[in-house]
Amino acid sequence: MNRRSLTARGVACLTAGILLAVAANVAAARPLLYVGVLLIALPLLAALTVFAPRRSGDVTRVISTDLLAVGEVSRVSMRVDLRAVGRPNGTWRDTLPRAVRGDAQGDYPGDTATLRYDVEGVRRGISTLGPLVLRTVDGFGLAQREQAFGDTRTITVVPQVLPLPPLPTKVGAAGGTAQTRSSRLGQGADNLIPRPYMSGDSRRRIHWRATAHRGDLMVRQEEEEASPDAVVVLDRAAARWARPGDEPDPAFEAAVSLCASAALRFVQDGYSVDVVDSAGGLLGALRGHEDDRDGLMVALATVLPRGEGRDLRTVIGGNPPGPLVFITGRIDAADAERLSTAGAAAPMLLAAAPAADALGMAAAHGWNTAEIDPGGDLADAWSDALPMAKTAHG
């Protein structure tokens, strides 16, 4: 490890011993030489006692939450089976990625131990916890040893999902009242019989839990292809957002969070939902199954601004949805004028950095608009963009 072998006390002891040995030779004082040799030998012997024992171990981590949301707290439990001679005297710390924060350290209790700590999600992404680092010191505190044990564990931090109010009136794919899908929403993943993926199967039918369990791509056998009732579009075109850097862009993070929140709001209201990016790539298809949500959240955990957008009518296809949510960043009046509602019955446009006249131009072309404040309440922006009841019927 990067930490030096001797502690500050050990370095001071060694330095004092060397100075006394030099002074003894200059002053011809044999007692000083004895003391100097003793002070030199002590940290060397301490280092020997710390580094001589051979240690190995296994670390098993269990995280209480499979997918950790930004702002959510989860408990990490580690079982450590340490193989060593004698009980190590020292402290432990788990290596945390930038995606989470927590107090992952403490005194090491013994050869076999269960260590626990809490982590909070602070940044979207797929990262790794670990390795576990054990720091041992000798009884006099002169020498120290840091050693890493065990494998790492993947942790996925997904965007925060906020409660949003529903649309005033349900609207269907053709502009009429949506049919509730409560019967489909009641089906869990356990009620489905997945089968292996075959060439030509739609990504909308992927059974995420079965895929993760078996290691091969699996699809739902009885899932029926149908045009979606609602569409959420995340405009990830690079020109709309700040350049990716070491720190996340607050505007883009707010957009991703609003995208996830809008999609799950529609599912709660009985819609089936397609979540796509502005280039037409499918990020998630929510059809009321438990693993649909997991698939979408994992996709949104790693999404970044890139590429260019396409015409929204091309992205949506030939079947206009009922509710349509388009979430974007920088947009001016010319962009808004070219932005088609694609025939949606309830089009909503939410922009993180609109020009002064952009939202007015979009409203003139049929959009219900609102500005996203990255530091504000996203539910307020959503409420401002909700279509009125008369618009939902129109």
> How confident is the model over 237-283, as pLDDT tens digits?
999 998 877 788 999 999 999 999 999 999 999 899 999 999 999 99
35-87: per-residue pLDDT in tens? 989 999 999 998 888 888 888 888 999 999 889 999 999 999 999 888 877 66
* Stretch 109-122: mean pLDDT: 86
Euclidean distance between CA atoms 373 and 237, whole angstroms: 19
Residue 185: pLDDT band with limits 50, 70, 90: very low
To the nearest 10 degrees (0 to 180), the angle between helices 250-268 and 378-385 is 60
200-224: per-residue pLDDT in tens? 666 667 777 777 667 678 777 654 4
Average pLDDT, the chain: 85
Domain map (residue ranges) of the chain: 8-51, 56-158, 182-187+226-393
Residues with Cβ within 8 Å of 234's Cβ and at least 6 positions away in sequence, in order, are 255, 256, 259, 275, 276, 277, 278, 283, 303, 327
Please count the residues of the chain: 394
Classify domain 56-158 at the CATH topology level: Immunoglobulin-like (2.60.40)
Euclidean distance between CA atoms 223 and 39, whole angstroms: 77
- So what's the architecture of 182-187+226-393 in CATH? 3-Layer(aba) Sandwich (3.40)
Same fold, 56-158 and 182-187+226-393: no
